Amino acid sequence: MTLPKFTAGQVGKLEFHHLNEAFERIERLDGNPALVTASGPVLGRTILVRITGQSGTGNSIRGSFEEVALSSVGSNTYVAVGGGVKSTVSGDAYGAPIVFPCSAVGSIVPVLGHIAANGKLYFRECSSPTLMRLGRINAAAQIGSSGKFIYTLVEVSIDNFNQGTFATVGSGLIFYALNGCEQPVDLNREIGVGTIYPLGGTAYRKPIKNGTVVSCMPSGSDYVFSIPNGYEFVCP
């Protein structure tokens, strides 16, 4: 469907370029009934959703969701809204996803719908989410001979506070991080974040032990944590 374009004209505060912009949005949706149905009740209003899944990593991450509401005021319990908005379009759970940044699975967040330049419906979180992630270190790869490491982590959350246990989030979301405490160079027996070892010995920086749970802050599409490293000491 091709709609007319205007070069002049005005009715009150409604000017010709407002109509052209509206027509362009309609044309981008034309031919995709599923997208029209999905976008109809959400464009221009904020809805409350529960994030049900995540796909991808870094700034390519996408979140699936369902619209929710309080079961009753004061209950602090959220339930799915019957006939509410979902990210699923034509069977694809990520057909109209939340894009980066995306909070953890299970989070309740407000989102606003947008239309991308290619006509695809997507959502952005309206709040400023806490983007810290708890991660359990699975592996460390040394960066050359620098004494720095790139860490591979799986996202976790507290499973049982009283027992001090953590559980993997969802299907095991993998991400990567650097350790800010590895930035200082070890010189003249002053190592790590300020340790000085005895004269005559030798110290070797070790990566953070696998299984350690750390809090990671975002830096762009990457993550960083700061945990002092352990060292291996060799005495004369």
Sign of CA dihedral 89, 90, 91, 94: negative
Question: pLDDT in tens for each of the 236 residues of the chain?
Answer: 455 665 666 666 666 565 566 655 555 544 444 444 444 556 667 889 999 998 887 778 899 999 999 888 878 788 998 888 888 888 889 988 999 888 888 888 899 888 888 888 899 988 655 567 899 999 999 999 888 999 999 988 888 888 999 988 877 788 899 999 999 888 888 888 888 888 888 888 999 999 999 999 888 778 999 999 998 888 87
CA distance 197 to 148: 20
Best CA proximity match to 49, nearest among 127, 116, 115: 127
Six token digits for residue 206: 């070790």
43: CB partners within 8 A, 6+ apart: 113, 114, 115
| Residues 104, 106, 112, 116, Cα dihedral to 10° | 60
Q: What is the pTM of this model?
A: 0.51
CA distance 27 to 153: 44
